[in-house]
Amino acid sequence: MRERNRGRRLPERGEKNVKRTIRIVAGVVTLTAVVCLGVKLGAQGTGTQAQTPASRGNKIAVINLAKVINNYDKWKAFKDEYKKEYDRVFEQRVAPLKAQYESLKKQIEDPKTLPTEKETATRQIKQLERQIQDIAEDAKAILGKKEADQFVQLYREVRDAVAACAKYYSIDVVMHYNDAFEAKELDTPQNVARKMGQAGCMPLYVNPECDLSDVVTGYLNKYNKPASPITPAGATAPATGANGAQSHQ
């Protein structure tokens, strides 16, 4: 009887041991998976911060500064404004003088004009030339300062945009160069001669993945929009408050 019962209990005890072993193994596997997942997530969360440029290698990128500036909406707006300002401070002022100049020139070339009249017209032309030259010098001073100030402002904005993009993409060094950015202009004699005679480093090959030109341009056009509307030539700019907002009457 004992042997019969013992024979019946042995399978039950064996089944219990097998189930217990399965539970233990399953628990160990689950615990191991959790630990491994935690280590992986921890590495993902802190690996970028823990790595230094020395340990992961320096990441270098470039930008085509000419491409960035020419595609910058603020620069496009400035060029339009500059043309209007040029018309206001030079063209509109010299237009009547040019008309007088052409009239006197025709008078001198006319065979019917008396010598004394030609002499008088010649003196008047010289006076007009001096007046036009003076206006040109004034315009050059006004527009030159305006252009120089704008270049400094644009450079600062590009530099800040490059720094922001470089930090976002964990890039250590960003260098700039100036080159044609349209395929038809890359190998023109003028552009090739300029690059061959240019001092400094001009990359012969750039991996497109390392070129941040479009990224920086997108950043600039998103966060540094041109002032709107642009002040028309000869008009008075709208009054602005302390925070730069236009005041409305």
- Which tens digits make up the pLDDT trace of 210-238? 888 999 999 999 988 887 554 444 445 44
Spatial CA neighbour of 129 closest among 102, 89, 109:
102
Question: Between 203 and 213, whose confidence is greater?
Answer: 213
* 247 Cβ contact list (under 8 Å, min separation 6): 238, 239, 240, 241
In a domain, 245, yes or no: no
Q: What is the CA radius of gyration of the chain?
A: 38
In a domain, 79, yes or no: yes
Q: Check if the beta carbon of residue 138 is closer than 8 Å to that of residue 25.
A: no
d(C-alpha 233, C-alpha 235), whole Å: 6
Alpha carbon 81 to its chain centroid, in Å, reads: 20
Confidence band (pLDDT; 50, 70, 90) for 209?
confident
In a domain, 238, yes or no: no
Provide the domain count of the chain: 1
Checking if the pLDDT of 5 tops 60, the result is: no
pLDDT, position 125: 95
For residue range 91-108, what is the model confidence (pLDDT) as tens digits? 999 999 999 999 999 999
Q: What residues make up the domain containing 216?
A: 60-223
Write out the two tokens for 128: 């007009």
In a domain, 138, yes or no: yes
In a domain, 194, yes or no: yes
Q: Check if the beta carbon of residue 233 is closer than 8 Å to that of residue 87.
A: yes
In a domain, 89, yes or no: yes
In a domain, 174, yes or no: yes
For residue range 110-137, what is the model confidence (pLDDT) as tens digits? 999 999 999 999 999 999 999 999 999 9
d(C-alpha 15, C-alpha 34), whole Å: 28
Confidence band (pLDDT; 50, 70, 90) for 51?
low
Question: Between 141 and 7, whose confidence is greater?
Answer: 141
- In single-letter form, the type of residue at position 225 comes to K
For residue range 132-187, what is the model confidence (pLDDT) as tens digits? 999 999 999 999 999 999 999 999 999 999 999 999 988 888 988 888 888 888 88
Q: Check if the beta carbon of residue 24 is closer than 8 Å to that of residue 168.
A: no
Residue 62 pairs with which residues in a beta bridge?
175, 211
Interstrand relation of 60-64 and 173-177 (parallel, antiparallel or unpaired): parallel
Helix (H) or strand (E) holding 125: helix 115-168
d(C-alpha 202, C-alpha 198), whole Å: 8
In a domain, 93, yes or no: yes
Dihedrals phi, psi of 63, to nearest 5 degrees: -135, 145
* 132 Cβ contact list (under 8 Å, min separation 6): 94, 97, 98, 101
